[in-house]
């Protein structure tokens, strides 16, 4: 009897220990799963829906809802002027901070926008790539506030490889007098406007249409002071353009002046200054006449 009691006691202790071990394993597993779920939750990035091109969009097309689709985009990497799919203004989602002051791509009752820059499928629709509702894809729509358009006459050597949205240095070549304080007239080329933004070539702001064309005119964006300087320079000489690298962000170029002599390495001799001989005279009055007689000078 005692033997049976002992066996039952040992069996009960074994089952209790097994149960405790399984309970600890279960709790540890649940704790690990909870920590994993919390780690995954921290890695979840808030997403928002943005409009993107459904097909290739070309300059001048009118943007309609059937040309776009929505794609999910991380909020922390959202382009500043991207168009979002806006929620119902009365919903809780509309109170999220990144929806504040965001314009609608297709405002209710407003005319359609026009394409300013060609876009490929899945490319995000951004404010810089389209006009305001009802706007036209003309040169004026590409001007920054307070800026003007000025057209420069060029030839194949003076405007080659220039396309809309590129930047160019503008050089003036002509005859100038009074260089370095002198009065002699000479041929000179000088940089007058650095890194100007090109908005049109051959009166077209479409990059696709102007590609491969021989430029006859190039239209640049300029402020009123620059427009006056360019107009004066174009009326008194010849303007040439030099394409600026896309990696060059320095628009404050130093003064550049080249003359025929500096280009060919010709050194001009300074004119010889001859000292005039000193002449001394004595004035003598004879009647109503005054006669000057040269005499030796007493230094």
Q: What is the pLDDT of residues 85-141, one digit of tens each?
A: 888 877 777 677 777 778 899 998 899 999 988 899 999 999 989 988 988 887 887
The pLDDT value recorded for residue 265 is 64
Using DSSP's 3-state secondary structure scheme, residue 24 falls into helix
pLDDT confidence of residue 70: 94
Give the C-alpha separation, 201 to 255, whole Å: 27
Mean pLDDT of the chain: 80
**For the chain, what's the residue count?**
299
The residues, ordered by sequence, that sit 6+ positions from 121 with a Cβ below 8 Å of its Cβ are 53, 54, 55, 56
Q: Please, what are the domains in the chain?
A: 43-137 (3.90.1210.10), 144-264 (no CATH)
Kindly report which listed range (75-79, 206-210, 212-216) carries the lowest average pLDDT score. 206-210
Q: What is the pTM of this model?
A: 0.58
Give the angle 122-128-132 at the CA atoms, nearest 5°: 105
- Sequence-distant (≥ 6) Cβ neighbours of residue 85 within 8 angstroms: 48, 49, 50, 51, 70
Mean pLDDT for 260-269 is 65
Select from 256, 214, 235, 260 the least CA-distant residue to 150: 235
């Amino acid at each position: 009897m005692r033997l049976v009691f002992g066996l039952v006691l040992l069996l009960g202790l074994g089952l209790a220990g097994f149960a405790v071990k399984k309970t600890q394993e279960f709790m540890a597993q649940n704790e690990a799963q909870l920590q994993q779920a919390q780690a995954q939750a921290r890695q979840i990035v808030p997403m928002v829906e943005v409009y993107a091109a459904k097909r290739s969009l070309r300059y001048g097309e009118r943007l309609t809802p059937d040309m776009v689709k929505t794609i999910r985009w991380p909020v922390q990497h959202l382009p500043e002027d991207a168009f979002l799919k806006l929620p119902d203004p009365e919903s809780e989602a509309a109170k999220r901070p990144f929806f504040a002051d965001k314009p609608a791509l297709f405002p209710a009752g407003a005319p359609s926008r026009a394409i300013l820059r060609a876009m490929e499928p899945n490319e995000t629709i951004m404010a810089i790539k389209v006009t305001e509702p009802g706007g036209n894809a003309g040169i004026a729509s590409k001007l920054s506030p307070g800026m003007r358009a000025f057209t420069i006459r060029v030839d194949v050597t003076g405007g080659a490889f220039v396309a809309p949205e590129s930047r160019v240095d503008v050089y003036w070549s002509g005859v100038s007098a009074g260089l370095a304080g002198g009065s002699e007239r000479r041929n000179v080329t000088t940089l007058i406007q650095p890194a100007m933004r090109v908005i049109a070539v051959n009166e077209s702001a479409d990059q696709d249409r102007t590609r491969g064309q021989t430029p006859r005119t190039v239209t640049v964006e300029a402020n009123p002071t620059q427009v006056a300087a360019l107009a004066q320079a174009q009326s008194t000489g010849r303007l040439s353009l030099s394409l600026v690298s896309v990696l060059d962000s320095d628009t404050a170029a130093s003064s550049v002046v080249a003359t025929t002599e500096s280009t060919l390495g010709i050194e001009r001799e300074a004119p010889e200054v001859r000292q005039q001989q000193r002449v001394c005279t004595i004035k003598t009055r004879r009647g109503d006449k005054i006669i000057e007689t040269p005499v030796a000078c007493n230094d």
